[in-house]
Amino acid sequence: MNKKQKKMLGRIIISAILIVVLEQLPIAGMLRFGLFLFPYLIIGYDILIKAFNGIRNKQVFDENFLMAVATIGAMMVGIFGEGDYTEAIAVMLFYQVGELFQSYAVGKSRKNISELMDIRPDYANVERNGKLERVDPDEVGIGSIIIVQPGEKVPLDGVIIEGESSLNTSALTGESLPREAVIGDEIISGCINMTSVLKIQTTKEFGESTVSKILDLVENASSRKSKSEDFISKFAKVYTPLVCYSALALAIIPPLVRMFGMGLSPDWADWIYRALTFLVISCPCALVISIPLSFFAGIGGASKEGILVKGSNYMETLSKTKYVVFDKTGTLTQGVFEVNGIHHNEMEDSKLIEYAALVESASSHPISKSLQKAYGKEIDRSRVTETQEISGNGITAKVDGIEVAAGNAKLMNRLNIKYIECHHVGTIIHMAINGSYAGHIIISDIIKPHSAEAIRSLKKAGIEKAVMLTGDAKAVAESVAKSLGMDEVYSELLPGDKVSKVEELLNIKTEKAKLAFVGDGINDAPVLSRADIGIAMGAMGSDAAIEAADVVLMDDNPIKIAKAIKISRKCIRIVYQNIVFAIGIKFIVLVLGALGIANMWLAIFADVGVTIIAVLNAIRVLFVKKL
């Protein structure tokens, strides 16, 4: 418990003890009223102040106003001997108990988010004149050299230039296993250096670093409201004034009817007591507190698993997902391409690889990197001229003045070069030298270990269709799709084709079913934005992912997609349970209160009891079952 919660608990205990003691004393009249006023003010002074401020600010109708009117009214009825001061104080007492439960529950769910907030670095170590100086991360520019010692947070994104160490990334990914980092590795802010000193050259300013973007994402998540939250806000604005006027009518109209219409005693005290009971029952705390808390707990529980949901509206959309569309490379596969076959006419393997690596040297595509890796030597770009990249086909260039073309079958057809079909599964890079076919290179991507299990988990979670989109050749795409158990696969797609295919799938699905697109976030921003909900995975360090996606998975394990959907469905299920339970109980007890059957104690249960049950139900979202 924090200091504020402990103070509230103390007020609750003191008030409860005073009620018990005062009930035993043989006192009556104004003395009794004066003594009972002490525990009433101890437990309820803040509610009375909030109600007064609400009236002063012309925002009258809220739960503080309802509590103040109901309890002050009950105390006044007690003066005339028609009520019990204990009931009035008990209303305040149990209301504050409900508030304490709610505060504790929010703290519990906030803890998961605050653990994530702990990734914010306090300082950066910069070496000056042979000594380490601690400076604000905001003061460190791009290209600066920083030192990160064991146990310290990495304050900025950069590249390791000296040292090897293990990194704790659990605050970002939810994974407890450390990651090994060596010279040349990119390293992102928010990780904790565990074993050895690292010297890092920064690649981003603090404001653009991964940690800053993640913190901004989490801090703004609560501003994006779901339809359920909007409904509750609108409901409370109409509901609260309505019940106030209804209570007023209940206090005035029946006595007047009895007096003028039936000639009977009006019995004002009885009807006022009923009206006050009606006010206590009608307080919308259970809905106003538990619904936002459910979403807050859902976002907190997801963040603990390394799943960042940008708002409760996305949580709601995610829960309705029935179609999941995957980009292949970097999402279902590791995006690590390796040359595993070279077929040529009369040219040596090494020479064909050399030409391929040089002609592809200007590209940052993983296939280009795999060719450069297979070449194994430093690339001399001065040997390459007249480079032309043809989207969806390949690259042509001159290497040492020799015309070289590297690409797929479309490029060979475009250049009117007769090529040899390759029946091996993989990405085929056809090569042409001076207009003649020289052979082809086979490159394969590696499927992630958990991809097949992730698809099975999605099917188990009720996903109707899993679809894979890729720019790879049909044979490669179908081989990967079959091994993973995909329902549909679309191959040989250009980047623009992926958007068109997602739009096509959006048009054929039912309106209630939502479509999620899962990509690596680097070049999938248009598709992530077009889908009902965009999920970027393996997003550590990817600005595009954090900006474009609605849900960000901080590591590259695809099984977390099913976990994210399960968390969202559990969250929405609890929201609906609380709505039905709270409205149902209140309606029943409101009718009983209007009929004079329900007393103030039953009203307390209808308000505080229902609130506590709803809050306890809401915090169940925090507990995520292991898949």
Three-state DSSP state, 554:
coil
Provide the edge-to-edge strand list for the sheet that holds 192-193: 179-181, 165-168, 192-193
Provide the edge-to-edge strand list for the sheet that holds 307-309: 307-309, 551-553, 533-537, 514-519, 321-327, 465-469, 488-490
3 state SS for 508-526: HCCCCCEEEEEECCCCCHH
For the chain, state the CA radius of gyration: 33
**Which residue in the block uniquely carries the two structure tokens 């307390």?**
604
Contact between 142 and 194 under an 8 Å Cβ cutoff? The reply is no
**Which residue in the block uniquely carries the two structure tokens 């380490």?**
132
Contact between 244 and 307 under an 8 Å Cβ cutoff? The reply is no
Among residues 299, 195, 211, which one has the least CA distance to residue 619?
299
Catalytic member of 62, 84, 157, 327: 327
Give the helix/strand (H/E) hosting 384: strand 384-390
Q: How far is CA 196 from CA 135, 173, 180, 191, 332, in A?
A: 21, 21, 11, 14, 33
Contact between 490 and 470 under an 8 Å Cβ cutoff? The reply is yes
| Main-chain phi, psi angles of 98, to 5 degrees | -60, -40
Rounded CA-CA distance 419/281 in Å is: 81
Provide the edge-to-edge strand list for the sheet that holds 384-390: 333-344, 436-447, 427-433, 402-407, 394-399, 384-390
Give the β-pairing of 533-537 and 514-519.
Answer: parallel
- The angle that helices 285-304 and 312-319 make with each other, rounded to 10 degrees, is 80
**Which residue in the block uniquely carries the two structure tokens 């090569």?**
431
Rounded CA-CA distance 464/60 in Å is: 48
Question: Catalytic annotation on 327?
Answer: yes
Rounded CA-CA distance 264/262 in Å is: 5
**Beta carbons within 8 Å of 257's beta carbon, 6+ residues apart:** none
568: left (phi over 0), alpha (psi -120 to 50) or beta: alpha
Vertex 323, ends 471 and 465: CA angle to 5°?
80
Q: What is the identity of the amino acid at 289?
A: I
3 state SS for 195-223: CCCEEEEECCCHHHCHHHHHHHHHHCHHH
Could you give the residue numbers annotated as active site?
327
